[in-house]
Structure 1
Amino acid sequence: MEKVRVLVVDDSALVRKLLSAMLDSDPGIEVVGVAADPLIARDKIKQLNPDVLTLDVEMPRMDGLTFLENLMRLRPMPVVMVSSLTERGAEVTLRALEIGAVDFFTKPSSDLANCFAESAQEICAKVKMAARTRPRPYTQVQKIDVPPRLSADAVLPRSQSPGTRGSTRIIAVGASTGGTEAIRVLLEAMPPDAPPIVITQHIPAAFSGPFATRMNNCSAMRVCEARDGQPIQPGHAYIAPGGEHLLVMWDGAKHVCRLHDGPQVNRHKPSVDVLFRSTAASIGAAAIGVLLTGMGDDGARGLLEMRENGAPTLVQDEASSVVWGMPGAAWKLGAADEKLPLEDIAARLLVLAQQPIAGARRAAS
């Protein structure tokens, strides 16, 4: 296979050096150039014709958002944003994803060398995945110690006697790469009295709060970052905080959000599999499961558990996904009843929410 040709754009000489060395260490990637600001990058894109751009969000002479907007309007190409772990960095990065950036990774304010070394596998995977996307208009390999991949068992054992509780549908949604925009499309189409929605999006801790605020501003539903013990109510959407697993639990009278500071599951925290497993156990057939665009397979097995417990399940189709990893894995596993374009999912969820809940009367008796 041909190497993915990358142009690194960052105003920090140190970041350019470290990021370039880390990317070049992957045999599937070649850094063809670097640029200290967007104006230099503009010329190098014409000269080098890279496959992927890594772009810092804050740079001199022209900020990253303005440059990205012009790039996506005039010459759409895969872009992976390099963000700081700050509230400002979160806001800019979420805006960049709206404009058309494929994905992002974060850099700390110190100890860059260790950060890039520890995150090398993830960053290289994001860059290579970005090269396979179709953006919309507007090495001697360094050995990386990878933590063990844990299943949802590490947080919540699978229930041996799941049941259907409650008379109200609850929609559980999982997403990763491309998911911030997919979730926006979904929530914008929901009416203010829609069934409650619980959401796990792979996102850093500093980003989940600003993301929930952005979604609240664009949706007729009330959207918030989930809090431990928070009752789950119609017309509300609850987004998992970055760095904590979101579970749905039955407290004897109602369903509530529970946050769990357990280990990473499928190398993610929050994990979609954890959300789906808790939903399968505590809601059963009254739930509806949705798996949107994302890299990897987190959520596929959890969605299958939901389906096996009687819940209707959907996945986003390949054509409308930025990355058809998670939904594709679920579809191949037989975890989904239906495969739909993103723009059709909200309407289908509302139809499913009106259908009788199988087993609800028996479980309530």
Structure 2
Amino acid sequence: MSKITVLSVDDSALMRQLMTEIVNSQPDMEMIATAPDPLVARELIKQFNPMVLTLDVEMPRMDGLEFLEKLMRLRPMPVIMVSSLTGNGSEVTLKALELGAVDFVTKPQLGLRDGMLAYCQTIAEKIRVAARARLQKPARTRPAGVLAATPILSSEKLIAIGASTGGTEAIRRVLERLPAVSPAILITQHMPPGFTHSFAERLNRLCQITVKEAEDGERVLPGFAYIAPGSLHMELCRSGANYQIHLHERDLVNRHRPSVDVLFNSVARYAGRNAVGVILTGMGSDGAAGLLKMRQANAWTIAQSEATCVVFGMPREAILLDAACDVVDLENISQQMLAHISHGQALRI
């Protein structure tokens, strides 16, 4: 079986060396070349035709976003962004995902040995997933049309969404089409600390609903979407008649914190038939068992279709468990969510 060939683009010689060591230590992949900037990378892509590209965010001679936009337009290929944990870096990384990057990985604190093995495993896993990913055409920056609000949307209704690889753009495309009077939405997206706040702010600028990073103990309200903070599990709970959010740092679930299963299990327990559960693109199986619990609690459950997933991992596992009531293309998920929240009432665009 041929190896996954990788090209690393980074202006830091130390990072290029680290990425080379990580890739070449894996039996199924090979670093075929490295480049200090996009202009050198452009020639190396022509020469070596790599299967996966890792791309730094901020580089000399050409901005990483500008290079990515040109690359995805002229020679689409799986790209993993390499980003620093800064507010500006996270915003740029989210823009890169919008432009068509498959995934991103944060830069390590070089010189620290603790956690380096896990970091190497993370990069290797992301490269393997990227090599198999289904490239999606970058979506239009404006939604196709905001769905019309239905006459009655009870504040007791809510929607729970889980996603991983490819999920930031899938979530954006779902939320952009929702009217301001939508029911409350709880979202767990696999994402490290430092990125979820920027992710929520970005969505809030694009959507009619209010999108924010979730806070422990806050009341869940209609018209709001709450993003689980990186490194914290998010659960739904009750305080009297009201829904509330509970955040905690308990053990990883399915190797993740936040975990989609943690969210879905709590929604099954406290919302039951008043909820809709949606599992979107992502690698692994996190969320599949939780979606099944939601279905068993009489919630309506949706899995994103294979044809519209970047990585058909989490939805596939949910479908195999018979956890999904319906399998829906990404562009139709917003409408299906609201239709079932409103007891199957038809909606118009």
TM-score norm. by structure 1 comes to 0.88
* Whole-Å separation in 2 of the counterparts to 1:110 and 1:222: 38
Consecutive unaligned residues in structure 2, runs of 5 or more: 139-153, 345-349
* Cα-to-partner distance string for 1:162-184 (whole Å, 9 max, x where unaligned): xxxx8721100000000000000
Equivalent position to 1:330, from 311, 318, 324 = 318
What SS is found at the alignment partner of 2:286?
coil
What SS is found at the alignment partner of 2:91?
helix
Q: Which residue of 2 aligns with 1:191?
A: 179
Consecutive unaligned residues in structure 1, runs of 5 or more: 139-165, 357-365
- Once the two structures are TM-superposed, the CA of residue 118 in structure 1 deviates from its matched residue by 2.5
Q: Which residue of 2 aligns with 1:256?
A: 244
CA contact (8 A) 1:5 1:30 kept: yes
- Once the two structures are TM-superposed, the CA of residue 113 in structure 1 deviates from its matched residue by 5.9
Q: Per the alignment, do residues 346 and 213 of structure 1 end up closer, same or farther by CA in structure 2, a change over 3 Å counting? A: same
Spell out the pairing of 1:1-365 with structure 2 (5 A cutoff).
Answer: 1-111=1-111, 116-137=116-137, 168-355=156-343
* Whole-Å separation in 2 of the counterparts to 1:125 and 1:114: 19
- Matched residues, number: 329
Q: Per the alignment, do residues 79 and 43 of structure 1 end up closer, same or farther by CA in structure 2, a change over 3 Å counting? A: same
Q: Per the alignment, do residues 250 and 34 of structure 1 end up closer, same or farther by CA in structure 2, a change over 3 Å counting? A: same
- Once the two structures are TM-superposed, the CA of residue 136 in structure 1 deviates from its matched residue by 3.5
* Whole-Å separation in 2 of the counterparts to 1:116 and 1:10: 19
* Whole-Å separation in 2 of the counterparts to 1:64 and 1:337: 41
TM-score norm. by structure 2 comes to 0.92
- Once the two structures are TM-superposed, the CA of residue 332 in structure 1 deviates from its matched residue by 0.6
CA contact (8 A) 2:10 2:55 kept: yes
* Whole-Å separation in 1 of the counterparts to 2:155 and 2:202: 30
Q: Which residue of 1 aligns with 2:145?
A: none
* Cα-to-partner distance string for 1:74-113 (whole Å, 9 max, x where unaligned): 1111000111111111011101000000001111343266
* Whole-Å separation in 1 of the counterparts to 2:20 and 2:87: 26
> Which amino acid in structure 1 is aligned with residue 160 of structure 2?
A
> Which amino acid in structure 2 is aligned with residue 330 of structure 1?
A
* Whole-Å separation in 1 of the counterparts to 2:54 and 2:155: 48
- Once the two structures are TM-superposed, the CA of residue 18 in structure 1 deviates from its matched residue by 1.1
* Whole-Å separation in 2 of the counterparts to 1:115 and 1:43: 35
In percent, how many aligned pairs have the same letter?
Answer: 54
* Cα-to-partner distance string for 1:151-207 (whole Å, 9 max, x where unaligned): xxxxxxxxxxxxxxx872110000000000000000001000011100000011100
> Which amino acid in structure 1 is aligned with residue 122 of structure 2?
E
- Once the two structures are TM-superposed, the CA of residue 135 in structure 1 deviates from its matched residue by 2.2
What SS is found at the alignment partner of 1:206?
coil
* Whole-Å separation in 2 of the counterparts to 1:235 and 1:318: 29
* Whole-Å separation in 1 of the counterparts to 2:306 and 2:94: 23
CA contact (8 A) 1:87 1:210 kept: yes
